[in-house]
């Protein structure tokens, strides 16, 4: 192994091609992972922020706020469950927002939430006509104290502050009082306006085992309830996006495995005579193979380090709100580990050839 590492140090040019190719693959792998994380974060932030033991929709809503209706009677049944401590209504409407200083057709997509129980990181309910805004709207020029206009009715909303990581379905969120939400909903979606006391969903808190199932039983099946994690997975498109990107990431890792396997297979062919000499001197096949693995791991680690630095730099250069890219240390570490595993597996393709090297014939071919 020491000989293999010495070769890396003294003849780095031999490994340049593999390092460059692996760096490009690592960049692609980390970028795809960051894009997946960004898409999921921008789609699920509003749900992830909920401090809830259960999120309740109507039974036919398919986990969609738009299709859900929870009236006072159903809410009363939920509140009557033993162990339930808090129940708050929630609803949203997705509209285009006109921002002062931007063009008349330059609209920002927003999801206006009306809430009774404040999510994590969101202050208490603001006053009438006011809202807390997700900080991604700052990229569109939104500032504290500014009034923006929502929907075709141009309903005015005053921004009183910013919150973080609360986007929903790829749109920046606004957090307002239930009355403000109802007013905006009725002005811009008259066909979807709700009666007083009716919400699109409920946020439920309480120390109850399997609370979602208990709620659905208490309402005689009039509701479909989820934990926060299940509600996130039930958002349309989330599981499909995750599955698709994970398949692409898997293919990328497989390509890295093939590249490493081919490179070290060719390297093994070139070194057949050298391995014969080493075996003649008493070196074991396991020692020679360990040297190959060490070289593959070092080359892959260098490529991953370079790729990680470039991807972080790319993330800093991309304007906020333009691409849903989220680069995290966890994603870089995961990508690096996947590449290292691929490197070790790829090297295993050379093991059989190393084992078959015969010292006498290998040395004989060089004389």
Region 30-56: mean pLDDT is 92
Q: Is the pLDDT of residue 294 over 70?
A: yes
Q: State how far the Cα of 38 lies from the Cα of 32, in Å rounded to an integer.
A: 10
Q: Which tokens in the block code for residue 308?
A: 């990680």
Q: State how far the Cα of 142 lies from the Cα of 110, in Å rounded to an integer.
A: 12
Region 38-51: mean pLDDT is 92
Run of H or E including 202: strand 201-206
Between 322 and 216, name the one with better pLDDT.
216
Q: Taking every pair of C-alpha atoms in the chain, what is the biggest distance, in angstroms?
A: 95
Q: State how far the Cα of 184 lies from the Cα of 129, in Å rounded to an integer.
A: 9
Q: Is the pLDDT of residue 268 over 80?
A: no
Report CA Rg, the chain. 29
Distances (CA, A) of 122 to 131, 146, 182, 361: 10, 19, 19, 74
- Write the CB contacts of 105 (distance below 8 Å, at least 6 apart in sequence): none
DSSP-assigned letter for residue 319? P
In a 10 Å sphere around its CB, with 0-12 CB exposed, 13-18 middle and 19+ buried, how is residue 349 labelled? middle
pLDDT attached to residue 322: 72
Q: State how far the Cα of 192 lies from the Cα of 187, in Å rounded to an integer.
A: 10
List helix spans (H) across the chain.
2-10, 16-48, 72-79, 178-188, 211-218, 228-234, 238-270, 272-280, 285-317, 329-348, 351-355, 359-364
Q: Are strands 201-206 and 147-150 parallel, antiparallel or unpaired?
A: unpaired
pLDDT tens-place string over residues 79-121: 999 999 999 999 999 999 999 988 777 889 999 999 999 999 9
176 touches 131 (CB < 8 A): yes
pLDDT tens-place string over residues 138-195: 988 899 999 999 999 999 999 999 999 999 988 999 999 999 999 999 999 998 889 8
Q: Is the pLDDT of residue 367 over 50?
A: no
58 touches 222 (CB < 8 A): yes
* Distance between first and last Cα of the chain: 26
158 touches 128 (CB < 8 A): no
> Across the chain, what does the average pLDDT equal?
87
pLDDT tens-place string over residues 312-348: 999 888 877 677 888 999 999 999 999 999 888 887 7
Q: State how far the Cα of 94 lies from the Cα of 110, in Å rounded to an integer.
A: 6
Q: Is the pLDDT of residue 271 over 80?
A: no
187 touches 62 (CB < 8 A): no
* pTM of the complete model: 0.79
């Amino acid at each position: 192994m020491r000989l293999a590492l010495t070769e890396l140090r003294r003849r780095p040019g031999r490994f340049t091609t593999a390092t460059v190719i692996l760096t490009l693959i690592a960049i692609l792998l980390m970028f795809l992972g960051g894009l997946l994380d960004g898409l999921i974060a921008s789609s699920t932030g509003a749900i992830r922020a909920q401090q809830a033991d259960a999120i309740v929709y109507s039974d036919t809503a398919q986990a969609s706020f738009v299709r859900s209706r929870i009236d006072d009677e159903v809410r009363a049944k939920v509140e009557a469950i033993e162990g339930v401590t808090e129940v708050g209504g929630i609803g949203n409407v997705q509209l285009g927002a006109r921002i002062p200083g931007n063009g008349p057709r330059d609209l920002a997509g927003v999801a206006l939430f009306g809430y009774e129980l404040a999510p994590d990181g969101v202050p208490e309910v603001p006053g009438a006509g006011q809202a807390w805004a997700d900080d991604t709207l700052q990229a569109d020029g939104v500032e504290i104290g500014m009034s923006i206009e929502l929907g075709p009715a141009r309903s005015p909303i005053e921004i009183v502050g910013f919150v973080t990581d609360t986007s929903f379905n790829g749109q920046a969120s606004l957090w307002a009082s239930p009355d403000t939400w109802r007013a905006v909903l009725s002005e811009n979606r008259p066909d979807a306006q709700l009666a007083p006391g009716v919400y699109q969903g409920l946020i439920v808190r309480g120390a109850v085992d399997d609370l979602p199932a208990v709620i659905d039983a208490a309402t005689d099946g009039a509701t479909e309830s989820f934990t926060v994690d299940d509600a996130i997975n039930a958002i349309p498109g989330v599981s499909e996006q995750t599955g698709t990107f994970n398949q692409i990431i898997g293919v990328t890792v497989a390509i890295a495995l093939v590249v490493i396997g081919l490179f070290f297979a060719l390297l093994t062919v070139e070194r057949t005579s050298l391995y014969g000499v080493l075996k003649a001197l008493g070196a074991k096949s396991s020692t020679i193979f360990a040297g190959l693995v060490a070289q593959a791991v070092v080359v892959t680690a260098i490529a991953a380090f370079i790729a990680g630095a470039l991807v972080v730099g790319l993330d800093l250069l991309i304007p906020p709100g333009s691409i849903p890219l989220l680069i995290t240390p966890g994603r870089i570490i995961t990508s690096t580990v996947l590449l290292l595993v691929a490197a070790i597996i790829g090297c295993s393709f050379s093991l059989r050839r190393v084992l078959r090297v015969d010292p006498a014939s290998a040395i004989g071919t060089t004389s």
